[in-house]
Amino acid sequence: MALKSGKEYIESLKNLKMNVYMFGDKVESPVDHPIIRPSLNAVAVTYDLAQDPMYQDLTTAVSHLSGERINRFNHIFQSTEDLVKKVKRQRMLGQKTACCFQRCVGQDAFNAVYSTSFEVDEKYGTDYHQRFLKFLRYAQDEDLVTDGAMTDVKGDRGLSPSKQADPDMYLRVVERRPDGIVVRGCKAHQTGIVNSHEVLCMPTIAMEPADKDYAVCFSVPTDTEGIVIIYGRQSCDTRKMEGGDIDTGNSAYGGHEAMVIFDDVFVPADRIFLNGETEFVGMLVERFAGHHRPSYACKVGVGDVLIGAAALAADYNGVPKASHIKDKLIEMTHLNETIYSSALACSYEGFPTASGAYLIDLMLANVCKQNVTRFPYEIGRLAEDIAGGLMVTMPSEKDFRSEEIGHYVDKYLRGIDSVPTEYRLRILRLIENLTLGTGAVGYRTESLHGAGSPQAQRIMIARLANFEHKKELAKAIAKIETK
């Protein structure tokens, strides 16, 4: 079975026995938990749209391994066209869900490990690449969701992994056996882990020979013995447990993050894709980050929803023709499209690696993500400006539905007379959801820190800027002789 439906995907998760905790208690059925379910629904959309002929070009691809049609999230980029379709898919899914749909990290991890393992094998004669191909084919054939796990908790960030006071601050190998390895540590900020079948772990920073035990890449099922998942909090997350659907802003969809602890987890040998080759860690990290930074084209799709919501808020407030409102909506659109253009640019400038898999232009990918660290904040600020303060001071849905006081809310919170008060409340809650993060991982703070903090991109931009070449260009124009 190469393509599951959303329903089949959800059923497949019920077979997993994940060790999930939330609010200090074990979650017996993550699939049915009201806080988790919206994030599950968002992933299910990626399955259902792959079944829809209208979206199949963006959501599916033909596997270069099997020749079968697969979900594009499990595809290895074979051309710049594949890279561009990824960006267009990201925007489309952002428009459909207005949140993080959680499968992007896995695809970016697939592509980074694919090309890096090939080059490790070329140098050392290892068989990491063949192991990875076997795993990839399995993920494609079963249409699995794979969580890409890179970010370690890091402890003292001024020290390398092997110099930490607590050696478990970075995921590491604690035992090597003939049949595999045992690992210990924690991965933070794990997007959609509770909705994933597999977790593909990678190192998080470049390493020296002394860090050999930390230079490890592997994949295991998310319900493997020793894995403990601690669900992350979001602002106003318990609104999802109150009933009703106005106060959540986006009742159908959401995202989630979690800590994932590896408490002496055994990894079979055929699931190990890097094991001590520290000189290739930097390549793996750089390629993953490069692929993941334009994945934030999803923010453009979410931005489309936010711009639409702001425009509706202006309509409902009776001020759609005000010049300053028009100007703010234009500015929001300009910023949103600037993010999209840089995501497309780095894809069109992609090139093949030694493995044959395509990599984006790293400079432009980092420029794209640098834009993402800034522009959604301004788009959000302008949306809040247009919406007005009522967005964060209005009464709850229960007050609106109340037989005793609901009529007051309905009467006094109406905007233009032709639009029901409920519609105004709904659109304001949606703006709150997107700009303040009330239950929707996927816009402001994730835009800043996801795929690396702003400084991480600036370091890469400086490394790739080639200032010496630019100096020579200036000298040539100014007729300055080069000695």
Can you tell me whether residue 45 is helix, strand or coil? Answer: helix
Q: Name residue, tokens 């028009």.
A: 326
- Calculate the alpha carbon distances from 104 to 87, 161, 222, 388 in Å: 11, 27, 17, 34
Across residues 92-103, what is the average pLDDT? 96
**Segment 444-462, tens digit of pLDDT:** 788 888 888 899 999 999 9
Query: Of these residues, 292, 346, 358, 438, which one is catalytic?
Result: 292
Q: Per mean pLDDT, which range of 117-121, 347-351, 450-454 is the poorest? A: 450-454
What pLDDT score does 143 carry? Answer: 98
In this model, does residue 330 exceed pLDDT 70? yes
Can you tell me whether residue 227 is helix, strand or coil? Answer: strand
The tokens describing 52, both together, are 């829809």
Q: Name residue, tokens 């919170």.
A: 413
Can you tell me whether residue 264 is helix, strand or coil? Answer: strand
Across residues 140-162, what is the average pLDDT? 97
Residues linked to residue 177 through DSSP beta bridges, in sequence order: 180
Across residues 273-277, what is the average pLDDT? 98
Which of the four pLDDT bands, split at 50, 70 and 90, describes residue 1?
low
Residues ≥6 apart with Cβ < 8 Å to 218 = 181, 183, 200, 201, 267, 271, 272, 273, 274
Cα dihedral 263→264→269→273 (10° resolution): 50
What pLDDT score does 440 carry? Answer: 52
What pLDDT score does 2 carry? Answer: 78
Judge whether 296 counts as a catalytic residue. yes
Which of the four pLDDT bands, split at 50, 70 and 90, describes residue 441?
low
Judge whether 104 counts as a catalytic residue. yes
DSSP strands (E only) in 31-158: 60-62, 69-71, 146-149
In this model, does residue 301 exceed pLDDT 60? yes
Query: Of these residues, 198, 384, 397, 446, which one is catalytic?
Result: 446
Residue 472: CB atoms within 10 A of its CB come to: 13
The tokens describing 454, both together, are 């702003």
Residues linked to residue 201 through DSSP beta bridges, in sequence order: 149, 218
Model confidence, pTM: 0.95
| Residue 186: its H or E element | strand 180-187
Per the CATH hierarchy, to which homologous superfamily does domain 6-278 belong? Butyryl-CoA Dehydrogenase, subunit A, domain 2 (2.40.110.10)
Query: Of these residues, 46, 60, 116, 191, which one is catalytic?
Result: 191
DSSP 272-300: EEEES-GGGHHHHHHHHHHHHGGGGGHHH
**Segment 234-268, tens digit of pLDDT:** 888 999 999 899 999 999 999 999 999 999 999 99
**Segment 28-75, tens digit of pLDDT:** 999 999 999 999 999 999 999 999 999 999 999 999 999 999 999 999
Judge whether 298 counts as a catalytic residue. yes
Query: Of these residues, 296, 316, 340, 358, which one is catalytic?
Result: 296
What residue spans in the chain does CATH classification 1.20.140.10 cover?
293-474
Contact predicate 172/216, CB 8 Å: yes
The tokens describing 151, both together, are 């970010």
**Segment 381-400, tens digit of pLDDT:** 999 999 999 999 999 999 99
| Residue 370: its H or E element | helix 362-372
Judge whether 214 counts as a catalytic residue. no
In this structure, which CATH number among 1.10.8.50, 3.40.50.10240, 3.30.70.2080, 1.20.140.10 belongs to the domain 293-474? 1.20.140.10
What residue spans in the chain does CATH classification 2.40.110.10 cover?
6-278
**Mean of all residue pLDDT scores within the chain:** 96
Report d(CA 280, CA 206) in Å as an integer: 8
The tokens describing 378, both together, are 């301004």
Judge whether 446 counts as a catalytic residue. yes
Across residues 99-111, what is the average pLDDT? 96
Judge whether 217 counts as a catalytic residue. no
Report d(CA 17, CA 374) in Å as an integer: 40
What pLDDT score does 442 carry? Answer: 62
What pLDDT score does 389 carry? Answer: 95
In this model, does residue 340 exceed pLDDT 80? yes
- Calculate the alpha carbon distances from 331 to 364, 391, 442 in Å: 22, 21, 21
